[in-house]
Structure 1
Amino acid sequence: MSEGISARGLRLLEMASIKKLTELGSTDYLRWQNIKRHKARLGADEVEILGKAFPNYRWWLLTGEANPELKQFSPGDDESVG
C-alpha cells in the first residue's frame, strides 16, 4: 500500500526548515512543530505551503506519483537535485 498525502507531507516536513515554512504561509512555527511531532494533523493549508516550498514535488505530494516530463519528482529522484 502506498503512503497517503499526510505521510508524504510529513516526509517533506522532515526535509524543510520550519522557519522557511512559517514565512511562506499563515501557519505559525508552533503549529509546524506540533505537526512534525505528530501532535497535530497536517491540514490543507499546510499541504499548500509545502507545495510552495517544494515546487518540484507538488504533484508527488498530491498524488504520490512522479511526472518527470513536467519536472515533477519524488524525494530521492536523482533528476530533481539541482
Structure 2
Amino acid sequence: MPYHKNKQQAFQAAQQGYEQAIDANETRLQSVDQADYGKELAHLTQEVNEAYQQIDKALEVASEHQYEQLKQYQNQLTQIMSELEQ
C-alpha cells in the first residue's frame, strides 16, 4: 500500500506543479505590455522547471493512465516554452 500512496502523491505533486505553471503562463500573457513582464517571464520559467522535475519524478512510478496524463502535461509545458522562443 505505501507504493500506491507514493504513486498517488507523486502524481498529485506533478499535477499541482503543472497547474501552477499554467497559472504563471496566464499571468505572463496578461502582463505582455506591462513593466513587470520580465518578472512574470522569470516566474513562469521557474514554475515550468519545477513542474518538469515533479513530472519526471512521477513518471518513474506512474500507472499507465497517470503516465499518459503526465506526458500530456509535459508536452503542453514544452509547447509553452517553445512559444516563448519564437
Specify the TM-score bucket, using the shorter chain as the normaliser: under 0.3
Larger radius of gyration: 2
TM (norm. structure 1) is: 0.26
Higher helix share: 2
Q: TM-score, normalised by structure 2?
A: 0.25
